[in-house]
Amino acid sequence: MGELALVLNSGSSSLKFAVFRAVAGDDWPLLVRGNIQGIGTAPQMSAHDQDGAALSIPPATQVRDAQSALTHVLGWLRSRFAAADLFAVGHRVVHGGPRHAGPALVTPEVLSELRALVPFAPLHQPYNLAAIEAAAQQRPGVPQVACFDTSFHRSLPAVARLVPLPAALGEKGLQRYGFHGLSYEYIASVLPRVAPQIAAGRVIVAHLGSGASMCALRAGVSVENSFGFTALDGLCMGTRPGSVDPGVILYLFQGLGMSAKEVETLLYKKSGLLGISGLSNDMRELERSETAGARLAVDYFLYRAAQEIGALCAVLGGIDGLVFTAGIGENSPYVRRRICQACAWLGIELDEAANQAGATRISTAASAASVWVIPTNEELMIARHTGRLLAADGAARRQRTGSP
């Protein structure tokens, strides 16, 4: 079986995991993908093999937190891959701050830096770090690599990174960072193979899921994105509002007397599709619903998406291709159709049969800008980074010591 890499993406009530076999090159074979949902309430675990077939898994009734969730996953993986060695654990970490332009080997110093960034990403960072700490306790000899959603956007020009507040605040880390970078990096990496006609051009990638954002790529490099200082900015999301007039936030504090914790909960967990619809944060449920709130929530989501595409087109000076990815982008023909219709002014022509079939290219041959559906693979991107970093670290160590 050889050496395996475990990839973890930990959330407040979930733990997503994937296992890859380490091989030469970037295309590491996936062996298992799974998740535990409902941690702390009603935990349930599911897993699939590389062909998508469901695997038999033990009940997760004893899972209470990140530590017990990882114990459960590692125990099951040990029984499944008894002859293999776990050589590394790669983690999705949402925020790398202004320092990390690439993945980092986890050390006590790095972990301390990342804890200081918790206020920048309170919905994600604490749970990402909890998985790192749990893995360190359970596999102390296995190296861990943190892969950041912010790193891919370090290429943003200075004007795009700017938060227009006094310069002294920028020195305290107040800048636009951008997120979903692992997803965008993966899409950029496969464009030369999947859509070579646009890979070197001006591309907008729409990562539409419970968390939603867009990124403007020029020749595969991020030059702008819809997120800003935090993952609250930009598009309407499942439970997050996206862009909001700062005066609204002031009014929540000063006019309505809400506490900082109440405002944080409102913005991260009670707004967006859920807040508008009063029904659900799940686009599938909202598309099926006939209620006025559900229709308004979907319409607002689409309105903001079309608006953001226009803004990113202005930054790029035009568009050669539009790529849909992530849960909604990959699976909702209705959302794709409505967005493409709103972007007809760009010369986009949708091939509705291809769209309904979920084809890779869903625009007509006559479309001025081509439109694509490309599944993202953040886990593979993390595995690649983990392998590259550890290989580079090993080579550097050998060079320093003079060993072969």
Q: What are the tens digits of pLDDT across the range 316-337?
A: 999 999 999 999 999 999 999 9
Q: Would the CA dihedral through 117, 121, 124, 127 be positive or negative?
A: positive
Is the same domain home to 243 and 117?
no
Is the same domain home to 282 and 395?
no
Is residue 165 in a domain? no
Is the same domain home to 88 and 234?
no
Q: What is the pLDDT of residues 245-273, one digit of tens each?
A: 999 999 999 999 999 999 999 999 999 99
Identify which has the larger pLDDT, 58 or 119: 119
For residue 272, the model assigns a pLDDT of 97
For residue 401, the model assigns a pLDDT of 43
Q: What are the Cα distances from residue 274, in Å, to 9, 199, 240, 267, 271?
A: 23, 36, 8, 11, 6
Is the same domain home to 134 and 223?
no
Is residue 158 in a domain? no
Question: And the tokens for 89?
Answer: 């654990």
Is residue 162 in a domain? no
Is the same domain home to 326 and 234?
yes
Distance CA 148, CA 181 (A): 7
Count of domains for the chain: 2
DSSP per-residue letters across 157-204: -HHHH--SS-HHHHTTT-S-----HHHHHHHHHHHHHH-HHHHTSEEE
Is the same domain home to 369 and 256?
yes
CB crowding 140-163: b at 16 or more within 10 Å, else e = eeebbbbbbbbbbbbebeeebbee
Is the same domain home to 57 and 131?
yes
Position 404 confidence tier, pLDDT thresholds 50, 70, 90: very low
Is the pTM above the cut of 0.85?
yes
Is residue 282 in a domain? yes
Query: 92 pairs with which residues across the strands?
Result: 147
Q: Which of 7, 179, 207 is nearest to 94 (CA)?
A: 179
149 is catalytic: yes
Is the same domain home to 107 and 9?
yes
Mean pLDDT, residues 152-179: 94
Position 395 confidence tier, pLDDT thresholds 50, 70, 90: very low
Is the same domain home to 112 and 227?
no
With 50 as the cut, is the pLDDT of residue 396 above it? no
Distance CA 305, CA 307 (A): 5
Is residue 157 in a domain? no
Q: What is the CATH number of the domain that holds 320?
A: 3.30.420.40
For residue 57, the model assigns a pLDDT of 82
With 90 as the cut, is the pLDDT of residue 175 above it? yes
Is residue 163 in a domain? no
Indicate the range of 60-74, 296-310, 314-328 predicted with least confidence. 60-74
Catalytic residue among 51, 85, 149, 320: 149
Is the same domain home to 368 and 384?
no
DSSP category for residue 228:
-
> Which structural domain, as residue segments, surrounds residue 246?
196-373
DSSP category for residue 382:
H
Is the same domain home to 206 and 320?
yes
Is residue 385 in a domain? yes
**Angle ∠(115,379,46) on CA atoms, nearest 5:** 100
Is residue 173 in a domain? no
Is the same domain home to 388 and 324?
no
Mean pLDDT, residues 382-389: 93
